[in-house]
């Protein structure tokens, strides 16, 4: 399961960076895309090695940040391609949460 999640978190980071590049880094949606990419990179780092005991809480918070970035990008993006990227990001960000809760 770890190799699958590692590849998935890389995909999330790339999608968040694409959303940021599509919206523009100086916009709200672009900034949220960068924060989503940072959260996905944190998830990947935590998957490889995390030295702190509160792994579950930090991991869930980072996953929620990526979902929130996608939802806000979906709601506020002006361009259609940015909204499509945000839709893909939101759907992809829900997969680790569903795996975490075994739904």
Whether domain 2-100 has CATH 1.20.120: yes
What is the predicted pLDDT for the residue at 52? 65
What is the predicted pLDDT for the residue at 14? 94
* CA distance linking residue 86 with residue 77, whole number of Å: 8
- Give 22's DSSP letter: H
Question: pLDDT truncated to tens, each residue of the chain (103 aa)?
Answer: 888 888 999 999 999 999 999 998 889 999 999 999 999 998 888 888 766 677 778 888 889 999 999 999 999 999 999 999 999 999 999 998 998 888 7
Counting runs of H as helices and runs of E as strands, what totals does the chain give?
4, 0
């Amino acid at each position: 399961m770890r190799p699958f999640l590692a590849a998935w978190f890389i995909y999330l980071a790339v999608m968040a960076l694409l959303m940021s590049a599509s919206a523009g880094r100086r916009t709200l949606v672009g900034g949220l895309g960068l924060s989503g990419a940072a959260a996905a990179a944190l998830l990947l780092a935590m998957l490889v090695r995390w030295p702190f005991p509160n792994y579950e809480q930090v991991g869930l918070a980072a996953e929620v940040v990526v979902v929130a970035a996608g939802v806000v990008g979906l709601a506020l993006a002006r361009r259609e391609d940015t909204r499509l990227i945000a839709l893909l990001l939101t759907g992809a960000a829900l997969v680790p949460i569903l795996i975490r809760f075994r739904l």
